[in-house]
Amino acid sequence: MLFKITEEIWKEGNMYVSHCPELDVSSCGRNIEEAKRNLKETIQIYIEETQKMGTFNRFIEECGLDTTQEGSYYSNKQLIDFSAIEVAV
């Protein structure tokens, strides 16, 4: 099973946070590589657990993922812009 999804990484203090917005799953690490590796592991565990609980199909539907004929899952969202903004209140 293959998932084609997005990974966002940012630095928070002395840790790197890795987040998958489609699945709303996050992890972290002491460096970028560790954060990436930990996110992949977290996603694998999360998917395995939804399969064990019988909620995998509902999970995929709620995440808005589509599937290809080959059985890969992907998001049909396209990132258009990503930037820091300031908002005065």
Is the pTM of the predicted complex or chain greater than 0.85? no
Q: What is the pLDDT along the chain (89 residues), one digit of tens a residue?
A: 899 999 999 999 999 999 999 999 999 999 999 999 999 999 999 999 999 999 999 999 999 899 988 889 998 877 788 788 899 99
Give me the CATH number covering residue 30: 3.30.160
Are residues 29 and 22 in contact, defined by beta-carbon separation less than 8 angstroms?
no
- Other beta carbons within 10 angstroms of residue 20's beta carbon come to 21
In a domain, 82, yes or no: no
In a domain, 38, yes or no: yes
In a domain, 56, yes or no: yes
Distance of CA 30 to the CA centre of its chain: 19
In a domain, 87, yes or no: no
Please give the residue range of the domain that contains residue 53.
Answer: 3-75
